[in-house]
Amino acid sequence: MHNALFNNLVPFFVIKGALYSNFGIAKILPVEEFAMIVFLKLIVQIYYFFSIVIVYIFAFISKRLWFLFSVESRCVD
């Protein structure tokens, strides 16, 4: 699970490479449109990162809660 989390975080840290790959487009588009494309890509990367983090936190909490309640129900006797 830790490895999957690490693999999902890699695209977030490659934003700089993604920005440099857009400089070919910058020659065609005006600066404002190029900046907007870069900004939208950045927002998508941040949203992708936080959605993964929230899913992992929710999975961790629900796993802990399930473990607590299952242990508690076994100890009732």
Q: How is the chain classified by DSSP, letter by letter?
A: -HHHHHHHHGGGGGHHHHHHTTHHHHTTS-HHHHHHHHHHHHHHHHHHHHHHHHHHHHHHHHHHHHHHHHHHHHT--
Q: Who wins on pLDDT, 62 or 75? A: 62
Where are the strands (E) in the chain, listed by range? none
Q: What is the pLDDT of residue 30?
A: 67
Query: Under a CB-based contact definition with an 8 Å cutoff, are residues 42 and 18 in contact?
Result: no
Selection from 31, 51, 32, 33 nearest residue 43 by Cα:
51
Would the pLDDT of 60 be above 60? yes
**What does pTM read for this prediction?**
0.39
